[in-house]
Amino acid sequence: MMGSRMVKRLIEAGHTVTGYNRTKSKAKGLLDSGMVWGESPRQVAATADVVFSMVANTNALKAVVEGPQGVLAGLKPGKVYIDMSTVSPATSRELAAKVAAQGARMLDAPVSGSVITLEEGKLSIMVGGDSEAFERVKPILLDIGPKVTYVGENGLAVTMKIATNLSLAVQMLAFSEGILLAEKSGIKREIAVEVMVNSAVASPMVKYRGPFVLHMPEEAWFNVNMMQKDMNLALELGRQLSVPLPTTAVTNEFLTAARGLGLEEQDFAALFQVLANLSGVEG
């Protein structure tokens, strides 16, 4: 959903892009647009000066980086490897050390935004790692999104992303509470949504996802499983750093309830349906 659109923006900006995906058929549109096919992550890394990856979780990142056909095997001194996944900060730092041992540099550069944000050219990118490597690739990152912020050493950008993402789910649950309170009071759901997305609480997330309580997208922008992965990463960090995360913990339980209802592949806006069921309202 996100990686393919990033490739499209890079191609449109005039870059030569070599790409790999486990399922080649899913890359057909990009190949038709000029992307060159790489037979493995290793081949992509060997071909490119700057390598990007964006995968679902920590285990997926290890799978594409490590091993004889992984990114690490294709990196040479002077190359820059940018991972845009939201993963464990500790794992990101471990991989960065392995990359550095080969004379290359790794940056963690997760994004803040949705599919629509990316397509509209409004994506925000946060970056952690070597500052000189960051300055070198910053123009390329700006071709993906207009806001690029350097936050510090390796692992800190993905930490920032986790700190940001926990608020998305918490906001969605709070938004759902307000909509359901209005609806059970006699206000039509459509009207309640219209008022909320134009009110003081209307963050970009609320504006984009608020209407999902009326019509859920057929393909999730960011599904329940993916969001719960990030919430669990946040809770783990909270325990490590002695930072209590009460609203994160409560919202995470509602994500578990969504999975229990078979909604794990739906967008995390399915939090509304969980609360609606508890409220005796049809979701």
- Cite the active site residues: 161
Output the DSSP codes for 204-228: HHHHHHGGGGTS--SS-SSBHHHHH
Check: CB of residue 65 under 8 Å from CB of residue 82. Answer: no
For residue 182, the one-letter residue type is A
By three-state DSSP, how is residue 46 classified?
helix
Q: Residue 130 and residue 100: Cα distance in Å, rounded?
A: 10
| Helix, strand, coil percentages in the chain from 3-state DSSP, rounded to 5 | 55, 10, 30
Structure tokens at 10: 């890079």
**Contacts from 255-260 at CB under 8 Å and sequence distance 24+?**
255/169, 255/224, 255/227, 255/228, 255/231, 256/228, 258/224, 259/224, 259/225, 259/228
Structure tokens at 145: 């999104």
